[in-house]
Amino acid sequence: MEQRHVRRAPGYDFEWLLSRVADICGLTPRELLTGGKQQNIVQARSLLCYWGTRELGMTAIGLSKKLNIFQSTASESVRGRAIVEEKGFRQIDDEEIGESE
Domains of the chain, residue spans: 3-95
Task: Indicate the Cα dihedral angle 33, 38, 40, 43, nearest 10°.
Answer: 70
Residue 95 in this model has a pLDDT that exceeds 50: no
Q: Which amino acid is at 28?
A: T
Of 1.10.1750.10, 1.20.1600.10, 3.20.20.70, 1.20.120.10, the CATH number of 3-95 is 1.10.1750.10
CB 64 within 8 A of CB 41: no
The model's pTM? 0.78
- pLDDT at 40 (0 to 100): 92
Stretch 22-35: mean pLDDT, rounded?
A: 93
Stretch 22-37: mean pLDDT, rounded?
A: 92
Residue 17 in this model has a pLDDT that exceeds 60: yes
Stretch 78-97: mean pLDDT, rounded?
A: 75
Name the DSSP class of 21: H
